[in-house]
Structure 1
C-alpha cells in the first residue's frame, strides 16, 4: 500500500523525490517505488513550452500538467506552484486547483512576479508580510490538511541567510507544513537551517546549482526530511538525446552508438500497451 505524503513524513528517514516533468519521466519514476515525486517547474516549462522558467507559464499550463502526472502515477506528487500565479485570490485558486488535480503537496515561493528559477541570479522577493499572507491563504484554501503546503523563500541569494531564516519562521507561523529555504551556498548553511526549525525541511539538490549536493546520510544528519532532485532527470535525458541525435547526424545511423537505450519492448509496456493488446483480444470478434 502506498503511503500518502503526510503519512510518509511521519516515518523516519529521508524522502528522496526525483524531478518529473512529463509522462515518460513520471512513469519511469513511478515504477521505481519512490516515496514521492516532485513536478519540477523548470523541467515542466522547458518540456511543455520550450521556454525558460521565468514566470512565462500560466496557471492553466501548469495545473494541466499536475493533473496529467497525478492521474498517470500512484506515487504522492509534490508540484511546483511558483508564486501562486498572482495575488492572494490567485493563490487561493491555485491551491484549490492543484489539490483537485491530484497533487498531495504544493510548493509556493516568495519571489516577485514574474519569478525566476531558484538557482539563477537577480531574483527579488516580495515583502515578508505579503509572503506570509500568501502562505496563510494557501493553508486556508486547501480542502484537506492532508494536502501539504511547502513554503519556499528565495531570500538567501539577495538578502542573506538571516533574512531567509526569518521568513521561514514566519511561514511556519502562517501554517506551512514543510519549509524550503532555496539556494543555501554551503554545508555550513545547510546545517544552520537544519538546527533552526522543528517542521520538516526540504533541500533542493540541483546538479550544477548553488547548493552542494550531499548524500542521503549527510542530509539526514543535518536535519532534512525531503530532498528533491528537480534537474537530474532532464539533464540526464538531454545528455542522452544530445549523444544519440549527434550519432544520427554524423553517421546517419544508431548502429554502433555506444550509449544505453531503454529496451523498446519495456517502453511499450511502460506506456500501457498491454492493456491495448488485451482489449483487442476481448473485442476482436466485433471488428
Structure 2
C-alpha cells in the first residue's frame, strides 16, 4: 500500500549485484509514477527517468532548464512507487563540482538507485541532435570525481555519459570513457553510438558496465535486446518511448473527439477502469480502511 516495500538501499544493492553478473538489464523510461508501476508489472529489471521526459512534462525543451529540485522531486515520486531500481538523468550535474556533490546527495535522499552526469556544455541539448559541445576533459573528470566522492551509499551508481562520439568520433569517446572510469565512474553511457561495432569497441575498452540508449528518431539504429546483449551491453534504456506512445494516443483521441464528438470508437484502446484500479492496488487500501473500497467495477 502507498509506496514500494523495498528500501532504496536494497534496490541499489540488487542493481549492483545484477550488474556484476554481466546480464543485460532493461530499463524502460517512466514518464510518471503510474507508468513505473506498469514497467514493474511487465517484468522489467529497472526504471529509467529521462531528463528529456521531465522537461517535456513541464512543457520545456531538453536544454538544461530544469532544476535539481524539480528533477529530484519527480525522481522521488517515481522511484518510491516501484520495487525496481530507478536510474535518473542528472544532466550536467546542475553546476560546478560542489553543485554536483549536492546533486548526488539529493538524489540519494530521493531514493534513486543511481544517476548519470554528462560532459556537455550548458545549455545542453538532446544527445541525438547535431551541434552539441562538450567540456574539456579536466572539467568532465572533476564532475565525476565530485560525484563519486560525495555519495554516502557505496552502492549508489555513478554513471558517466559522454557525448564526444558525435563531435570527435568513437576513438575519442573511448579515450574519454577510460578517463572517466579512472575518475571514479561505476558505469559508462556512450551516447549516440551508431553501430553495434561501436558499442563493442567501448565494451572492450572499459571494465565497467555500459549503457545503450535506444531512443527513437535518433542517431542509433534501434537494436534489439539480443543484439545488444551479444556485444556486451549491460543496461539498455528506452527513455522517451512510453511518453511518445502515450502522447500519440492522446493526440489521436483528441482528433476523434473533435471529429466524432465522443470517444466510443476508442474505448478498446483505453486502459479499463478495472485495470487501473488493479494497478494502483485499490483493494489493498480496503484492508487498511473498510470504508474506502466498497464497490465492484463492472467490465
Question: Under a length normalisation based on structure 1, what TM-score does the superposition of the two structures give?
Answer: 0.93
Q: Could you report, residue by residue, the CA deviation over 1:144-171 in whole angstroms, capped at 9, with x for unpaired residues?
A: 2110111000111122222211110001
RMSD: 1.9
Correspondence 1:117 to 2:126: yes
**Cα distance in 2 between the residues matched to 1:96 and 1:144:** 9
Correspondence 1:264 to 2:235: no
Instruction: Quote how far apart the aligned CAs of 1:25 are.
Output: 1.5
Instruction: Quote how far apart the aligned CAs of 1:278 are.
Output: 4.0
Question: Under a length normalisation based on structure 2, what TM-score does the superposition of the two structures give?
Answer: 0.89
Q: Could you report, residue by residue, the CA deviation over 1:249-275 in whole angstroms, capped at 9, with x for unpaired residues?
A: 110111123752111111123234324
Q: Could you report, residue by residue, the CA deviation over 1:60-84 in whole angstroms, capped at 9, with x for unpaired residues?
A: 1101011111112111010111100
**Cα distance in 1 between the residues matched to 2:266 and 2:284:** 32
SS at match of 2:266: coil
**Cα distance in 1 between the residues matched to 2:21 and 2:261:** 52
* Pairing of 1:134-283 with structure 2 (within 5 A): 134-257=143-266, 260-281=269-290
Instruction: Quote how far apart the aligned CAs of 1:279 are.
Output: 4.1
Q: Is the 8 A contact 1:244 1:259 kept in 2?
A: no
SS at match of 1:111: coil
Uncovered stretches (5+) of structure 1, i.e. residues with no partner: none
SS at match of 2:29: strand
Q: Could you report, residue by residue, the CA deviation over 1:67-106 in whole angstroms, capped at 9, with x for unpaired residues?
A: 1111121110101111000101110000000011101111
**Cα distance in 1 between the residues matched to 2:212 and 2:22:** 16
* Pairing of 1:57-136 with structure 2 (within 5 A): 57-136=66-145
Instruction: Quote how far apart the aligned CAs of 1:8 are.
Output: 1.2
**Cα distance in 1 between the residues matched to 2:292 and 2:188:** 52
**Cα distance in 2 between the residues matched to 1:283 and 1:25:** 24
Instruction: Quote how far apart the aligned CAs of 1:34 are.
Output: 1.7
**Aligned residue for 2:3?**
none
**Aligned residue for 2:33?**
23
Correspondence 1:34 to 2:67: no
**Cα distance in 2 between the residues matched to 1:273 and 1:260:** 22
**Cα distance in 1 between the residues matched to 2:34 and 2:52:** 16
Q: Is the 8 A contact 2:196 2:228 kept in 1?
A: no
**Aligned residue for 1:13?**
23
Q: Could you report, residue by residue, the CA deviation over 1:25-83 in whole angstroms, capped at 9, with x for unpaired residues?
A: 21211222321111111112211x11111111011110101111111211101011110
SS at match of 1:228: strand
**Aligned residue for 2:53?**
43
Uncovered stretches (5+) of structure 2, i.e. residues with no partner: 1-5, 294-299
Q: Is the 8 A contact 1:240 1:259 kept in 2?
A: no
**Cα distance in 2 between the residues matched to 1:170 and 1:156:** 15
* Aligned residue pairs, count: 283
Change (3 A) 1:145 1:280: closer
